[in-house]
Amino acid sequence: MFWTKIKLAAISAFIVLNLGTVLFMNRPMPVVQATDNFLSKLSPLTAYHFSYTGWLMAEYAHKCGLDNRWEMFVRQSRENWWFTIKAKTDVATIELPLPRQSPRTFWQRNFFDFREGKFHLNLYENSFLRQAYASYLGRKYSVPGQPPIRSIIFELHTQNLLSRADAAKYGRSTEPQSYTQILDEFPCSP
């Protein structure tokens, strides 16, 4: 009987800890700002203890996979977009054999390539990350005896989404034409 109560208390504490961690990680920005203002009014040692506790919770959330931010009512993009990443040499410009732009098996496409989509979402608005990724790709796909890669090109392809009425009328959700622009071209060191 005693051990049963201990087990139930441990399970309850675990559930409360995880729910509290998820709530802590998804605090609205005004709450974060109010907390920062409150901490600035405390003594340095007390503020440190509160900040350290928050850091420990964030570390726990990261280690357990509870650090995702849930943004349910975010404004959605009105376009479908994707990258085509190419390597430019002295001889030609070639499309790199990356997961989202090369032939994939059913298993790869449906069970393993989801990470690439999330990665591209992070690259979409961050030129610094695209430059770092370009540097990595330049090193990874350089082949001795082949022409060196001079630069990595990020092409952004967009395709407008149709309104709900037009999508029902035409039986598709996107316009038939897509638009392409070179977003970045980063030089690679040989």
- Domains of the chain, residue spans: 2-64, 79-187
Give the count of beta carbons closer than 10 Å to the beta carbon of residue 140.
10
pLDDT of residue 186: 94
User: pLDDT digit string (tens) for 47-89?
Assistant: 899 889 989 998 898 888 887 766 666 566 678 889 999 999 9
More confident residue, 37 or 68: 37
**Range 39-51 average pLDDT:** 89
Q: Model pTM?
A: 0.60
More confident residue, 89 or 1: 89
Angle (CA) 34-40-43 rounded to 5° is 135
Measured CA to CA, the distance from residue 106 to residue 177 in angstroms comes to 26
Residue 187 backbone phi and psi in degrees, to 5:
-70, 145
What percent of the chain clears pLDDT 90, i.e. is strictly above it? 36
